Structure 1
Amino acid sequence: MSTILSRLWNTNKKIISQKIRIGLVRESMKVKGGNAMDKIVATRNIMFTKYLFVSNVSISILLSATGDVLEQYYQNHINTDPSKVSSGEPPSWNRTRTLHMSLSGASVGILCHHGYRLLDALYPGRAIKTVAKKVLFDQLCISPVIICAFFLTLGALEGASRGQILTEITDKGKRLYLAEWVVWPPAQVVNFYFLSTRYRVLYDNTISLGYDVYTSYVKHDHS
């Protein structure tokens, strides 16, 4: 399963990279000779209009990886992993773990991208009642799906059995879901009331950097 996912990822990465390069060349030709503000606007249009899906997934990948790097740094240099201390093994960065976390960020980014578009289609507008419906729908329907996708992706990459994946979803997924009720309802009120759809995932991932550190901790907590 992990081999199939890796091949699909590499194939899609090549196609996406090629499309991005072509798009960037075209956009750079449009603003050639323009001032700095023109280039900023053009870059924003590339990221959050033409290639919004790619931008959202890329941001999720980057911040998921960053969250894991920060968590590993904390484990290795601030709160040293007891298992490494007892074995005499020097602290080290687990690159494979970070890669897997970043790929799980891809699945989360895809679901967030389409989930926010669905919410805006179901509940258009920014009235208080509408925002409240979006927050509840997000917490009750979208968040559980994203948490399950997170553990399914990592389980597949790590070669875990169905039973192991199900155990992680029921045990560790519950911890993440309870934490989400503390972090996300107030954050999503701001998201749904003030921001347009194309900036939702960027805002979401910016707020969630600290939550990504906690997610990495919960996923790799063997206590």
Structure 2
Amino acid sequence: MVIGLFRWYNGRLAARPLLTQSITTAVLFATGDITAQQLVEKRGLKGHDLTRTGRMALYGGCVFGPVATTWFGFLARRVNLKNPRLETLARVACDQTLFAPVMIGVFLGSMATMEGNSAKERLEKTWWPALRTNWMVWPFVQIINFTFLPLQHRVLFANVISIGWNSYLSWVNSQSK
């Protein structure tokens, strides 16, 4: 079953990589929010905020999925060194100094805007703590990602790990209201 699903996914990925990775990202961002609401916040089904889950899916599918797919491709094409270990470290350094700060800001600002709140206030309150937490988790994840996974599976790997990360971001975002 799992092997068949993986083959089906690879077929979709080969045919329409950006669309496939965007849809996958939307589903996994929503899963991260559901995890945050049900396991972390313990809201229960009656207290679940479907609009919030929808915002996460929308952001994941329309913003993060396409941007991450493009970013990973850029790193694979442009950050190439003779030493594979140094290449991985250079890619992680680029990812964590350029991509992470910007995308955390885009996420928090987008969520605030979609909620009808001030993006500026949200960023002032939550961006730096979220980025510091990111730096405790993602460099290690990206070392594994850039070392062992082929380019076409890097967004999927990051998205699976992101279920927990998105739970955290969703929770941080909800606490800042």
- Report if TM-score (shorter chain) is over 0.5: yes
What is aligned with 1:3? none
**CA distance 1:41–1:64, change in 2 (3 Å):** closer
**Residue type of the alignment partner of 2:95:** D
In the aligned structure 2, how far is the partner of 1:60 from the partner of 1:222?
A: 24
In the aligned structure 2, how far is the partner of 1:50 from the partner of 1:108?
A: 20
What is aligned with 1:84? none
SS in 1 for 2:68: helix
Equivalent pairs, count: 172
SS in 2 for 1:124: coil
- Could you tell me which runs of 5 or more consecutive residues in structure 1 were left unpaired when the two chains were aligned: 1-36, 79-89
What is aligned with 2:42? 76
Q: CA RMSD in A?
A: 2.3
- With structure 1 as the length reference, what TM-score do the two structures score? 0.70
What is aligned with 2:64? 108
Deviation at 1:155, TM superposition (A): 2.8
What is aligned with 1:197? 151
Higher relative contact order (CA 8 A, sep 6+): 2
What is aligned with 1:83? none
Deviation at 1:54, TM superposition (A): 1.1
What is aligned with 1:10? none
2:86 to 123, 129, 140: 129
SS in 1 for 2:47: coil
Deviation at 1:152, TM superposition (A): 2.9
In the aligned structure 1, how far is the partner of 2:10 from the partner of 2:130?
A: 34
Percent of counterpart pairs with the same letter?
A: 25
Kept after mapping to 2: 8 A contact 1:64/1:209: yes
1:65 to 30, 35, 39: 30
In the aligned structure 2, how far is the partner of 1:60 from the partner of 1:219?
A: 18
CA displacement, residues 67-104 of structure 1 (integer Å, 9 cap, x when unaligned): 111211132358xxxxxxxxxxx951111111111112
What is aligned with 1:52? 17
1:140 has 2:106 as partner? no
In the aligned structure 2, how far is the partner of 1:180 from the partner of 1:139?
A: 9
**Residue type of the alignment partner of 2:42:** N
In the aligned structure 2, how far is the partner of 1:70 from the partner of 1:76?
A: 9
- With structure 2 as the length reference, what TM-score do the two structures score? 0.87
Kept after mapping to 2: 8 A contact 1:105/1:150: no
Deviation at 1:47, TM superposition (A): 2.5
Deviation at 1:42, TM superposition (A): 5.8
Deviation at 1:113, TM superposition (A): 0.7
Map 1:87-102 onto structure 2 (within 5 A).
92-102=47-57
In the aligned structure 1, how far is the partner of 2:102 from the partner of 2:171?
A: 20
Deviation at 1:44, TM superposition (A): 3.9
**CA distance 1:206–1:93, change in 2 (3 Å):** same
SS in 1 for 2:175: coil
